[in-house]
């Protein structure tokens, strides 16, 4: 869908959410091949499953359905006697084409083209090179399946009293952003909340044991408290709601060739929003630092828990000596090992908020590593305390999301 049609949908979203009758639309949307049965099922289960929640999700997902999605949707409205909404959209679309406005990105972050010194000509050249990468199997992973894979989000918010871990207020905002974002990127998203360490491992093992043969990718997102932990490959650990840690190393190794053969040779992506330790980074002065970069509207919280060393659940590695060299694995951490990861109680974590914004604006044209560079740059400029995300990259090719 081109940007003009996206703007039409966004400007009419409130009216559509208030007035759209979704029940008569399902069969018509399938007939016009605007959505697959699986996509419609996802829309029907959005939020509380109410008419307004379904309407909102339908409008959001419509933006991903190709260049003719809006005129086809207008036809669907007419076929279901929703002529008022059809007329509003058609008139708005016609006005947009006659008087196109300058479309500005919705992402408020101060990262981007100007800072990188890119002209519009540079961008066009860049996008051309990316299309070549996407079409060349030697340069990029093929994400042709639709949906392209599973995405499991584990969102730990409330912890038992004995754990002495505080509730992670604001994490539900992160969870919903990422649920919607990966749904738009054509993943089958499953959310599990408030799991103990044992339940986390069980959920991950269950995902690894599924048949991924017809899929092209797999994503795991962990939102929790975290700490430092002994490791050989991947640093850090995340906490279950019972206060027991699970090593990131163990999480990743659940999806190795032995544990998940149907994902062999396919990208496995892990996004970890948790502290890597207790250290608070005050940063250092640079000439470009601006006053607004050094203040926050609210006091942020951290997801830090003290470093634990010695025998414990996080040291029980699964047959480390027999593991193959990691390949097709990408682990994105919200912060540098040893340092805290900041979370705003009202808007969610710095990392997830930025990740979602960058993916929204750039995922259609840039590969995963470039997207994460943008995230690192933007997060590094936030707040009085400092934070910089990083990654362990064992991918063999570039990865472009399906949008």
Of residues 172, 227, 170, the one with CA closest to residue 197: 227
Q: What share of the chain is helix, strand, coil (3-state, %, to 5)?
A: 40, 15, 45
DSSP H/E element including 179: helix 171-184
DSSP state of 9: H
Report residue 199 as tokens: 């339940």
Sign of CA dihedral 132, 137, 138, 143: positive
Residue 172 and residue 352: Cα distance in Å, rounded? 11
Residue 317 and residue 309: Cα distance in Å, rounded? 14
Place of tokens 């196109």: 100
Residue 356 contacts residue 348 (beta carbons within 8 Å): no
Residue 146 and residue 334: Cα distance in Å, rounded? 28
Choosing from 217, 225, 231, 260, which is the catalytic residue? 225
b/e string for 93-116 if b means 16 or more Cβ within 10 A?
beebeeeeeeeeeebebebbeeee
Of residues 385, 379, 301, the one with CA closest to residue 346: 301
b/e string for 128-146 if b means 16 or more Cβ within 10 A?
eebeeebeeeeebbbbebe
Of residues 278, 281, 277, the one with CA closest to residue 229: 277
DSSP string, 227-288: E----SSS--EEE-TTS-EEEHHHHHHTTSTTT-GGGTTS-EEEEEES-S-SB-B-----TT
Residue 133 and residue 195: Cα distance in Å, rounded? 39
* Residue 225 bears catalytic tag: yes
Choosing from 12, 151, 217, 275, which is the catalytic residue? 275
Residue 310 and residue 215: Cα distance in Å, rounded? 39
Residue 70 and residue 6: Cα distance in Å, rounded? 9
Catalytic residue IDs: 225, 275
């Amino acid at each position: 869908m081109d940007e003009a049609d996206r703007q039409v949908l966004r400007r009419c979203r409130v009216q559509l959410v208030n007035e759209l009758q979704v029940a008569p639309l399902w069969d018509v949307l399938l007939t016009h091949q605007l959505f697959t049965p699986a996509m419609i099922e996802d829309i029907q289960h959005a939020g509380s499953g109410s008419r307004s929640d379904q309407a909102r999700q339908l409008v959001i997902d419509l933006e991903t359905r190709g260049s003719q999605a809006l005129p086809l949707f207008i036809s669907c409205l007419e076929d279901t006697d929703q002529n008022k909404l059809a007329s509003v959209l058609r008139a708005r679309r016609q006005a947009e084409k006659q008087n196109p406005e300058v479309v500005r990105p919705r992402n408020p972050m101060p990262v981007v083209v100007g800072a990188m010194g890119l002209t519009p000509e540079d961008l066009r050249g860049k996008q051309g090179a990316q299309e070549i990468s996407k079409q060349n199997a030697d340069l990029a992973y093929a994400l042709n399946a639709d949906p392209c894979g599973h995405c499991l989000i584990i969102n730990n918010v409330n912890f038992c009293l004995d754990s002495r871990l505080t509730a992670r207020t604001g994490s539900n905002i992160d969870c919903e952003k990422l649920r919607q974002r990966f749904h738009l990127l054509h993943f089958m998203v499953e959310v599990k909340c408030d799991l103990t360490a044992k339940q986390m491992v069980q959920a991950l093992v269950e995902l690894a044991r599924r048949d991924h043969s017809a899929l092209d990718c797999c994503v795991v997102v962990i939102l929790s408290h975290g700490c430092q932990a002994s490791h050989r490959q991947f640093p850090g650990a995340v906490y279950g709601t019972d206060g027991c840690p699970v090593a990131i190393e163990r999480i990743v190794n659940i999806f190795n060739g032995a544990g998940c053969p149907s994902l062999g040779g396919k990208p496995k992506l892990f996004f970890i929003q948790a502290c890597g330790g207790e250290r608070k980074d005050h940063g250092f002065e640079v000439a470009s630092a601006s006053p607004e970069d050094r203040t926050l509207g609210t006091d942020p919280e951290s997801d830090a828990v003290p470093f634990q060393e010695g025998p414990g659940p996080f040291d029980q590695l699964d047959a480390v000596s027999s593991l193959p060299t990691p390949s097709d694995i990408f682990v994105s951490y919200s912060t540098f090992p040893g340092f805290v990861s900041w979370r705003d109680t009202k808007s969610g974590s710095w990392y997830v908020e930025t990740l979602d914004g960058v993916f929204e604006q750039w995922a259609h044209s840039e590969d995963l590593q470039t997207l994460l560079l943008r995230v690192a740059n933007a997060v590094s400029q936030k707040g009085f305390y400092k934070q910089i995300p990083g990654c362990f990259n064992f991918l063999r090719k570039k990865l472009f999301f399906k949008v």
